[in-house]
Amino acid sequence: MITSGKGGVGKTTLTATLGRIFASMGERTVALDADLGLNNLDVLVGADMRVVYDIVDVAEGKCRMNQALIRDMDEPGFYILPGAHSRDRSALNAQSMKEIVQRLARSFEIVLVDCPAGIDGGFRRAVEPCDEAVLVTTPHISSVRDAETVLRILRAGGIDRVYTVVNRVRGDLVVSGEMLSRSDVERLLGTEVYGMIPEDDGMNLLSNSFDYGMGAGVSACGALARGILSGTPEVFDLTKKYRGLFGGIKRRMKRRL
């Protein structure tokens, strides 16, 4: 499950990016939305126009799983199970969500469940069938504090493997001491950080500039994906280009921008 305390920290973006990266590494991956109200995921990967059946149709037995799954245009080993598009969603309770995740786990190596922020319905629906969690926070104290609460609940819910990721980090501000660093977040949360993802316009999947495989954001997600698969964190160094003499110049230029 991809989860967070605060909203808007990048869960759906990371779900889609990690899904494509895992698939490119040869792991057949599927992503689904545990947020029943909004269908961010299919919109974000540009699959919303191709939706015929959705997760509710699967839960109600109106279609086969294969009929609902949509293959990603960019990465053929990555699929989306579209979220509930309208109508009555009562068929999709914790039990049917669990069955759907378990069915997907039989034919995919990795099942990613994109959760809504916080610890309400969508979170609880996802905790039971999931084995591991990617906990996303931004490098702001309020977001880290909320992540701490979620971390506690995840552990209480039996999810021991939690990959904490700090998203939207500005390397220049970390070097100047104005933004929380990896070790700051590790100290606050009392857990290892598996990923530091820079603030990067190229991470915006809706924009035409999404540079898959090219930008710093996607490279950092690649390191995160390798760390998750190997169990040993491989954290992208986003402060490197802002250190030293030339780094100082780049930092000043970034500030002007």
Ligand X SMILES: Nc1ncnc2c1ncn2[C@@H]1O[C@H](COP(=O)(O)OP(=O)(O)OP(=O)(O)O)[C@@H](O)[C@H]1O
The residues binding ligand X (CB under 6 A) are 4, 7-13, 40, 116-117, 167-168, 197, 199-200, 203-204, 217
| Count of residues touching Mg ion (by CB under 5 A) | 3
Partner in contact with 181, chosen from Mg ion, ligand X, none, beta carbon below 5 to 8 Å by kind: none
Which is closer to Mg ion, CB of 12 or CB of 219? 12
Q: Cβ 5 to Mg ion, closest distance in Å?
A: 13
Contact 158, 33 (CB under 8 A): no
How many other C-beta atoms are found inside a 10 Å radius of the C-beta of residue 103? 13
22: Cα separation from own chain's centroid: 12
Which is closer to Mg ion, CB of 146 or CB of 172? 146
Give me the residue label for tokens 């977040």.
Answer: 185
Q: Give the residue, chosen from 24, 39, 40, 96, that forms a contact with Mg ion under the rule CB under 5 A.
A: 40
Residue 4 interacts with Mg ion (CB under 5 A): yes or no:
no
Using CA atoms, how far apart are residues 88 and 108, in angstroms rounded to an integer? 28
Residue 205: phi and psi, rounded to 5, are -65, -20
Beta strand 78-81 with 70-71 is antiparallel
Partner in contact with 167, chosen from Mg ion, ligand X, none, beta carbon below 5 to 8 Å by kind: ligand X
41: Cα separation from own chain's centroid: 10
Choices 7-15, 133-141, 195-203, 236-244 (CB under 5 A): range interacting with Mg ion: 7-15
Q: Cβ 44 to ligand X, closest distance in Å?
A: 7
Which is closer to ligand X, CB of 65 or CB of 111? 111
Which is closer to ligand X, CB of 209 or CB of 232? 209
Dihedral-angle region of residue 83 (phi above 0 means left; psi in -120 to 50 means alpha; beta otherwise): beta
Which is closer to Mg ion, CB of 11 or CB of 182? 11
H and E: helices and strands count for the chain: 11, 8
Q: Which residues bind Mg ion (CB under 5 A)?
A: 11-12, 40
